[in-house]
Amino acid sequence: MNYFSLNHKAANVNFEQATINGIAPDKGLYFPEKLIPLEQSFFENIEKMSNTQIAYEVIRQFIATSIPEQELSNIIEETLNFEFPLVKIEEDTYALELFHGPTMAFKDVGARFMARCLRYFNRSKKDEKIKVLVATSGDTGGAVANGFLRVKGVEVIILYPSGKVSTIQEKQLTTLGQNIIALEVDGTFDDCQAMVKQAFLDEDLKELNLTSANSINIARWLPQMFYFFFAYRDLKHLNKNMVFSVPSGNFGNICAGMLAKKLGLPIEFFIASTNINDTVALFLKSGAYQAKPSTATISNAMDVGDPSNFVRIQQLYNNEIETLKKDFSSYSFTDEETKNAMKKIYSTANYISDPHGAVGYLGWQKTKEKFPNSIGVFLETAHPVKFLDTVEETLQTKIEIPQQIKAVIDKKKRSLNIKNYKELKAFLTLG
Ligand SMILES: *Cc1c(COP(=O)(O)O)cnc(C)c1O
pLDDT of 218 reads 97
Buried b / exposed e along 88-116 (16+ C-beta atoms within 10 A): ebeebbbbbbbbbbbbbbbbbbbbbbbbb
Neighbours of 417 (CB within 10 A): 10
- Name the pLDDT band for 164 (thresholds 50, 70, 90): confident
Rounded to the nearest whole angstrom, what is the distance from the C-alpha of residue 248 to the centroid of ligand 1?
A: 6
Chain segment 105-156, per-residue pLDDT in tens:
999 999 999 999 999 998 887 777 889 999 998 889 999 999 999 988 899 9
Q: Is 34 an annotated catalytic residue? A: no
Going 253 to 312 to 172 to 21, the CA torsion angle's sign is positive
Smallest Cα–Cα separation from 134: which of 88, 71, 199? 199
Mean pLDDT of the chain: 95
pLDDT of 12 reads 98
Judged by phi (left if over 0) then psi (alpha if -120 to 50, else beta), residue 319 lies in left
Going 107 to 111 to 114 to 116, the CA torsion angle's sign is negative
3 φ/ψ angles, rounded to the nearest 5 degrees? -125, 140
In this prediction the pTM is 0.95
The residues spanned by each domain of the chain are 83-105+221-401
Cα distance between residue 269 and residue 261, in whole Å:
10
pLDDT of 312 reads 98
Cα distance between residue 295 and residue 291, in whole Å:
12
Lowest mean pLDDT among 134-138, 327-331, 345-349: 134-138
Question: What contacts 302, CB < 8 A, 6 or more positions away?
Answer: 247, 248, 249, 274, 275, 277, 356, 359
Cα distance between residue 139 and residue 170, in whole Å:
9
51 versus 409: the higher-pLDDT residue is: 51
- Name the pLDDT band for 244 (thresholds 50, 70, 90): very high
pLDDT of 38 reads 98
Chain segment 380-397, per-residue pLDDT in tens:
999 999 999 999 999 999
pLDDT of 341 reads 98
CA-proximal residue: ligand 1, atom 2 (nearest): 301
Cα distance between residue 288 and residue 292, in whole Å:
13
* CATH class held by domain 83-105+221-401: alpha beta
Reply yes or no on whether the pLDDT at 31 is more than 70: yes
Smallest Cα–Cα separation from 387: which of 416, 358, 410, 415? 358
Within 72-225, strands assigned E span 86-90, 93-97, 130-135, 154-161, 180-185, 210-212
Counting residues of the chain whose pLDDT is more than 90, the rounded percentage is 84
- Name the pLDDT band for 186 (thresholds 50, 70, 90): very high
Identified catalytic residue from 9, 107, 262, 343: 107
- Name the pLDDT band for 404 (thresholds 50, 70, 90): confident
Reply yes or no on whether the pLDDT at 431 is more than 70: no
Greatest CA separation found in the chain?
Answer: 60
199-218 mean pLDDT: 90
237 versus 296: the higher-pLDDT residue is: 237
Within 337-422, strands assigned E span 374-380, 416-418
pLDDT of 87 reads 98
Strands 93-97 and 86-90: antiparallel
- The residue whose CB lies within 8 Å of the most ligand 1 atoms, and thus the one to mutate among 29, 104, 106, is 106
CA-proximal residue: ligand 1, atom 1 (nearest): 301
Reply yes or no on whether the pLDDT at 343 is more than 80: yes
- The residue whose CB lies within 8 Å of the most ligand 1 atoms, and thus the one to mutate among 29, 146, 248, is 248
Neighbours of 423 (CB within 10 A): 16
Rounded to the nearest whole angstrom, what is the distance from the C-alpha of residue 45 to the centroid of ligand 1?
A: 31
- Calculate the alpha carbon distances from 5 to 16, 107, 198, 223, 311 in Å: 15, 24, 19, 19, 11
Reply yes or no on whether the pLDDT at 275 is more than 80: yes
